[in-house]
Amino acid sequence: MKALLAFLAFLGVAAVGALVAVLLIVRNPADSGPGQERVASASTAAPSPSPMSRKSVLVDVEGAVIEEFSGDCADSGYPYLCRYVSERLVAEDPRLLAGDGLTIQTTIDQRLQRAAQRAIDAHVHRDDPQVATQVMIVPGEGAIRAMATSRGDGDGPASQQGTTAMPYTLATALTAGLRYDDGFPISDEYRAQDFAAFKNCADEAVGDPTHSIVNREKAGDRFATLRSGTQEMVNTFSMRLEEKVGLCETVKMAELLGLRRADGMRLQDFEMFTLGINEADPVSVANSYASLASRGTFCEPMVITEIRDGSGATRSFQPRCRQVLDPAVADAVTGVLSDVLARSALKSVGREAAGMPGAVDGFTAAWYAGYTPGLASAVSLGDSRGGYRYPLVDVTIGGRHYPQVDGTSVPGLVWKEAMAEAVRGTPETGFVRPDAGRFGGCRDACPN
């Protein structure tokens, strides 16, 4: 007996287990039924971890490997993408994030990813405290083609979207029947006449007659129209327009087009909604503009098309889209935003394009959002230490000094360079022209 124990100790635990299994089979050589099946089942149901387990990988839209994926994005070469994929996996099934051997097919186009990253790197250094982030989305599909950031530790902070919110108010006004040349007499200061001037979606009076809103550029008393007020990003005009068409109606329009708060809470429906007070991320802003580019078709943003495990079992994901806006209204909004871009230094990206700078009160952040018929994109810029403490005023970004950063400077340059590269070599398409008979001229808010 002592000799047997010594021999077993020499073999070790793993060898002993194997020897016992052999002895059991030898003991019952004629038992090829349930007993043998139980031994095999126990062996496959709880295998010991193998150091050779295959790593999970992210692959692009063509099936080429982007990088290995563990869910820990600290060392990822694509931190923004990695974090977003991780969030989607947790939302689908938290167990997926802990799995090995997954092949995660994404919607990412590596050519566009490189274009976005190069444009960011050209204007924002990796060690700058300011963080630039860009997202590209396909209108009518919701497919995210690029997610790039200037910092290696993930996406930049969410920030107020500023004047990139004005097109939601414009869309609401055009839906209500106003025309391009309808407008109001305005000054450089606006104050609500009473609390009831604005009603939120709970029918509560949220106007603030104690607070004045001013324009960034002073131009004196004048008449501003839907077209001119939006093109010039006039704060006081946008407030007057929102007051006329309704705060809640404007908020609902933004939600339909795809605007979401970055913290997952409902949009804040305060009187200054039209000036972009909600903190958003580039996915949400780019996707809301993609809804305009696709003539009013909203699609849920998607970055994963298929998840395949080591056994070959797959989960597939399809676009989820619905018509949320009259196509003619979307075309009319695009007509105005095309003029905004054409009147700026950012024109000529190689395709018909529309866009809007995102100026934020106090220069706490800056944005640019825009689209061609086939691609929408948004770029955000803000200080990772906090925009209120560190506004984009008297700053050096990418080795260049800026007295102040607005939407047409750093974010606009990133947007233009990335989009120009993205559309190169792709089929040329154009926007549908606005219906002049329906939206031209003025109706009931004409100049005297």
Give me the pLDDT at residue 153, please: 64
Q: Is residue 343 assigned to a domain?
A: yes
CA distance 106 to 80: 13
Task: Please count the other Cβ atoms lying within 10 Å of the Cβ belonging to residue 57.
Answer: 15
Q: Is residue 70 assigned to a domain?
A: no
Contacts of residue 116, Cβ cutoff 8 Å, sequence gap at least 6? 134, 136, 146, 147, 148, 377, 418, 422
Q: Which domain holds residue 222?
A: 159-300+322-439
Q: Is residue 434 assigned to a domain?
A: yes
Q: In this structure, which amino acid lies at residue 17?
A: G
Q: Is residue 22 assigned to a domain?
A: no
pLDDT in tens, 180-236: 999 999 999 999 999 999 999 999 999 999 999 999 889 999 999 999 999 999 999
C-alpha distances out from residue 83 to 59, 76, 233, 272, Å: 15, 9, 34, 31
Q: Is residue 413 assigned to a domain?
A: yes
For residues 341 and 368, is the Cβ–Cβ distance under 8 A?
A: no
| 3-state secondary structure at position 261 | coil
pLDDT in tens, 263-295: 999 999 999 999 999 999 999 999 999 999 999
Q: Is residue 172 assigned to a domain?
A: yes
Q: Is residue 188 assigned to a domain?
A: yes
Give me the pLDDT at residue 2, please: 42
> Which CATH number characterizes residue 184's domain?
3.40.710.10
Domain count within the chain: 1
For residues 78 and 120, is the Cβ–Cβ distance under 8 A?
A: no
Give me the pLDDT at residue 34, please: 30
pTM for the complete prediction? 0.87
Give me the pLDDT at residue 44, please: 31
Give me the pLDDT at residue 445, please: 83
Name the DSSP letter for residue 254: H
Give me the pLDDT at residue 43, please: 31
State which residues of the chain have pLDDT below 50. 1-52
